[in-house]
Amino acid sequence: MEPEKKLADFIVNAKYEDLPQEAIETVKTIMVDIAGTTIAGSTSEGCEDLVDLVKEWGGKEEATILIHGCKVPAYNAVFVNSYIGRALDYENAHMPGAHFSVSCVPVALAAAELRGGLSGKDFLAAIIAGSEVGYRMNACTKYDGLDPTGYGPLFSATGVAGKVLGLNGEQVLNALGLALNKCAGSFQANIDGSLGVRLIQGWTSQSAMISALLAQKGYTGVKNFIEGVYGYFHLFSKDKKYDSDILLGELGKRYNILNTLFKAYPSCGCTLTSTDLALAMVREYGIKAEDVEEVNVRLHTYHYNLTGHPFKIGNNPRVDAQFSIRYCVANVLMRGQPKLEHFDPTSINELAKTELIDKVNVMGGDEVPFMLQEMVLKTKEGNEYKKTQDVIRGMPPNPLSKEEHLTRYWDCIHYGSKPLPNGNPDKILTFIDNLEEIDNVCDIISLLTA
């Protein structure tokens, strides 16, 4: 039980004063990111219906559904808030495709409401400590079609909830042990264009909150949830020996939150590099859509299986486009810099009526380095251009600039169809910038209510 106890104790004992400034600044950027995507996504497909459904379920008014403003049981508030924040697939992530922050932030806010308030310093400590546990488990997992969001982020969000609620070491250990039995999620939802992609995010947050609340009441969880004969690494690492240094090395000194991927474009992380390559060709060579004969993209099998399949429009066009390299590349060739509105159903149908998407071919192979993507573009005049990229822009060592982060935030504000009161978007930025000085982080909730 040694690794399990070490992780639980790390969560309980984490203090703001021990946190590196880089990690603190990363959380602030994450907060801006999640605030923006929540505002932008609040009325996207299924969001308002989910709000109405959860209100019909009723229950104790414990925590706020952001933007919409109503209060519901905390475990249902985080279910909806995470669904909304994930709706546009523009929020940050962590390779190989786990979405941590859009569960951890809503869970932390809802738990703070339950507790009756929380200082900004304690909020930062909870986000960073809880996130770290899931990041380390994520790095040891062999997903093979499991949706990473339903695994590592579940333990992160559970740790965050336990920390905010003030659980002791034994209770946090139980909460994490209970979370083992809630791990779930398949990438088939992404491939099939299902709204289940967002629901998995919501279920992760809901399961985390419930696990922490049950542990608080004395329910016991799996003690050997990592190394047990049927523990996490038997089930989700396929019995391959995991690296104990990845899981426990420099715990409290090395923070994986610094490796967060902040997306430059509103689509799956596996599509971002090919989008960058297409943009580079358009800008450097002046290529126009009508010039293109064919585009060939080559990438690792993992990314191909998720985003390289032939493009089709199903019941949820936005999800179909978000998880399609063919669509994302064609979109750049037709329209240039990707925008949120390019993933609206009207824009998707407009592009699908052209032949451009069919000119984009995607090939996968295990021989391709995991992060590398290669693009060869051929023009009708016989010219051929080739580019490769092996680091996704938006993650170290190729980060977005502060100006790009702010541009993303304001794009989200202007895209949202349920606008906040005048001045609130600026106040949100000021609030987050001064998070260490905030007496009660719950005060941001009123700023995030339309």
Question: C-alpha distances in angstroms, 290 versus 211, 337, 346, 353, 354?
Answer: 55, 17, 21, 14, 11
pLDDT, tens digit, 9 for 90 and up, residues 111-152: 999 999 999 999 999 999 999 999 999 998 888 999 999 999
For residue 415, give the nearest of 33, 43, 29 by alpha carbon: 43
- Per-residue confidence (pLDDT) for residue 241, from 0 to 100: 62
Among 364, 389, 414, the domain-final residue is: 389
3-state helix, strand, coil in the chain (%, to 5): 55, 10, 35
Separation between Cα atoms, residue 234 and residue 20, nearest integer Å: 33
Look at residue 394 and tell me if it is in a domain: no
Among 359, 389, 419, the domain-final residue is: 389
Among 389, 412, 434, the domain-final residue is: 389
Look at residue 81 and tell me if it is in a domain: yes
Same domain flag for 71 and 200:
yes
Q: What does the longest C-alpha to C-alpha distance in the chain come to?
A: 71
pLDDT at 258 over 90: yes
> In this structure, are residues 86 and 196 in contact, taking their beta carbons and an 8 Å threshold?
no
Percent of all residues in the chain with a pLDDT value above 90, rounded to a whole number: 94
Domains of the chain: total: 2
Same domain flag for 293 and 214:
no
Question: C-alpha distances in angstroms, 257 versus 30, 87, 124, 412?
Answer: 10, 22, 12, 23
Separation between Cα atoms, residue 83 and residue 195, nearest integer Å: 9
Strand pairing report for 384-389 and 373-379? antiparallel
For residue 295, give the nearest of 225, 379, 368 by alpha carbon: 379
Same domain flag for 205 and 295:
no
- Per-residue confidence (pLDDT) for residue 109, from 0 to 100: 98
Strand pairing report for 292-300 and 360-365? parallel
The mean pLDDT value for 270-283 works out to 98
Which distant-in-sequence residues (6+ apart) come within 8 Å of 186 by Cβ? 145, 146, 147
Q: What is the pTM of this model?
A: 0.97
Which parts of 194-316 fold into alpha helices (H)?
196-216, 232-236, 244-248, 269-285, 301-307
Same domain flag for 191 and 274:
no
Number of residues that make up the chain? 450
Q: How confident is the model at residue 387 (pLDDT cuts 50, 70, 90)?
A: very high
pLDDT at 240 over 90: no
pLDDT, tens digit, 9 for 90 and up, residues 76-106: 999 999 999 999 999 999 988 999 999 999 9
Question: What's 317's domain CATH number?
Answer: 3.30.1330.120
Residue range of the domain that includes 135: 2-263+399-447
Computed over every residue of the chain, the mean pLDDT equals: 96
Separation between Cα atoms, residue 204 and residue 201, nearest integer Å: 5
The answer to whether the Cα torsion of 257, 258, 260, 264 is positive or negative is positive
Same domain flag for 135 and 18:
yes
Separation between Cα atoms, residue 120 and residue 112, nearest integer Å: 10
- Per-residue confidence (pLDDT) for residue 239, from 0 to 100: 65
Question: What's 30's domain CATH number?
Answer: 1.10.4100.10
Same domain flag for 354 and 442:
no
Look at residue 30 and tell me if it is in a domain: yes
Look at residue 422 and tell me if it is in a domain: yes
The mean pLDDT value for 420-442 works out to 97
Look at residue 140 and tell me if it is in a domain: yes
- Per-residue confidence (pLDDT) for residue 410, from 0 to 100: 97
Look at residue 245 and tell me if it is in a domain: yes
Higher pLDDT, 243 or 63: 63
The burial class, CB within 10 Å (0-12 / 13-18 / 19+), for 201 is buried
Question: C-alpha distances in angstroms, 253 versus 6, 131, 332, 417, 428?
Answer: 14, 14, 41, 42, 30
CB atoms within 10 A of CB 355: 9
Same domain flag for 413 and 381:
no
Same domain flag for 331 and 431:
no
- Per-residue confidence (pLDDT) for residue 1, from 0 to 100: 60
> In this structure, are residues 330 and 356 in contact, taking their beta carbons and an 8 Å threshold?
yes
pLDDT, tens digit, 9 for 90 and up, residues 154-184: 999 999 999 999 999 999 999 999 999 999 9
The mean pLDDT value for 278-288 works out to 97
Look at residue 56 and tell me if it is in a domain: yes
Separation between Cα atoms, residue 279 and residue 294, nearest integer Å: 15
DSSP tag of 93? B
Look at residue 337 and tell me if it is in a domain: yes
Same domain flag for 347 and 219:
no
Higher pLDDT, 233 or 90: 90
Same domain flag for 318 and 439:
no
pLDDT at 74 over 70: yes
Same domain flag for 204 and 83:
yes
Q: Determine the 3-state secondary structure of 225 from DSSP.
A: coil
pLDDT, tens digit, 9 for 90 and up, residues 55-69: 999 999 999 999 999
Same domain flag for 259 and 275:
no
Q: How confident is the model at residue 243 (pLDDT cuts 50, 70, 90)?
A: confident
Which distant-in-sequence residues (6+ apart) come within 8 Å of 190 by Cβ? 147, 197, 268, 306, 319, 323
As given in the structure block, the two tokens for residue 108 are 């932390």
- Per-residue confidence (pLDDT) for residue 140, from 0 to 100: 87
